[in-house]
Amino acid sequence: MLFAISFHPLERSSSIFHRSSDVGWQWFIPHWHWFPPTAATVSSSLLLGICSLPDTKFKSAIETALAANECFGLEDSSERLSCFFDRALVNVGAELVRSVPGRVSTEVDARLAYDTQDIIHKVNQLLKLYNELEVSPQRLLFKIPSTWQGIEASRLLELEGIQTHLTFVYSFPQAAAAAQAGASVIQIFVGRIRDWARNHSGDREIESSSKNGEDPGLALAEKTYNYIHKYGYKSKLMAAAVRNKQDLFSLLGIDYIIAPLKILESLKESVTDPEERYSYVRRLAPGSASVYNFTEEELVKWDQRSFASAIGPAAEELLAAGLEGYVNQTRRIEELFGKIWPPPNV
């Protein structure tokens, strides 16, 4: 069981995972001494944050990327900026690999989300850059949006032994198709689904959960967990956009949770006895998955047509919004690189 922090100072975003059974932790960022990171995510948002901070080893990694010789010869400015962006992601990712014991997930350009072959090509480019820095593929995940094309790219990459992390999952068809594709990690945004449900209607999956008195985000996480374990899929499940302490308690047993630091810190006050402070009741377990019932409609082998007709308006809208955010962040970092290139020492 792992916990996680999502860290966002100055537009920086880094997903940091933690073992819930450990105590007495310490790492190099203030206020994280109770929750040291064991894995991380490198993204366009993280690069933006690093560029806004004073000199750090991560900022040096970006400056080194901007001095990469192979990018200089590219006459097309968009190709040159893309080259710098990839180098920066990988250089920072390599630093994170050296800083945490677990895997580092690298964001794949969201502008490629609807082209399977472009996603695969980009992942192989990033993997080649990591290989040049002698980073083992076993320490890496590649974070891909859960469009149908992204899920298909995940399937093909996993067949090659490349570990993928499918994000922006907001519906059971997405989650089930991701599991069928063999994705290493499937990320569900429980809080965003809840937010959508509060302000919208017309999504059959969400309305079914609400009719049963369930929170739709937590219900999707529970259903996906049980689907993975009942039918023997290899995927690990990650819950993100956790809004409060009760969400954490409801998700205990899931493989990964990303939660704000303030929620994790509030756990210290949940139980007064220090010996029992981290002894919470597990809500999700492989044993209980065997008695979970799925409909015939939910047990189909998903293809592009059935997937497109089943994901529902909530997933469609939230996926589009997530992609737009990632694309905007990528463009911002490329624009920034265009302004500061070449760096002073080049």
Residue positions annotated with a catalytic role: 143
Q: How many CA atoms lie within 13 A of 100 on its CB side?
A: 27
Distances (CA, A) of 174 to 39, 111, 247, 330: 24, 19, 22, 24
Q: Can you list the alpha helix ranges (DSSP code H) found in 182-302?
A: 190-199, 204-211, 216-230, 245-251, 261-266, 286-289
- Is beta strand 40-42 parallel, antiparallel or unpaired with respect to 104-107? parallel
Written as one letter, the residue type at 181 is A
8 A C-beta contact, residue 314 and residue 193: yes
- For the chain, strand residue ranges (E) read 2-7, 14-19, 40-42, 104-107, 140-145, 164-169, 185-189, 236-240, 256-257
* 104 in Cβ contact with 93 (< 8 Å): yes
**The token pair that represents 216 in the structure block:** 């739709």
Strands 2-7 and 185-189: unpaired
Please work out, in degrees rounded to the nearest 5, the angle formed at the alpha carbon of residue 326 by the alpha carbons of 323 and 331.
125
CA distance 343 to 346: 6
Tell me the Cα Rg of the chain: 20
Residue 280 DSSP symbol: P
Handedness of CA 320, 322, 323, 329 (dihedral sign): positive
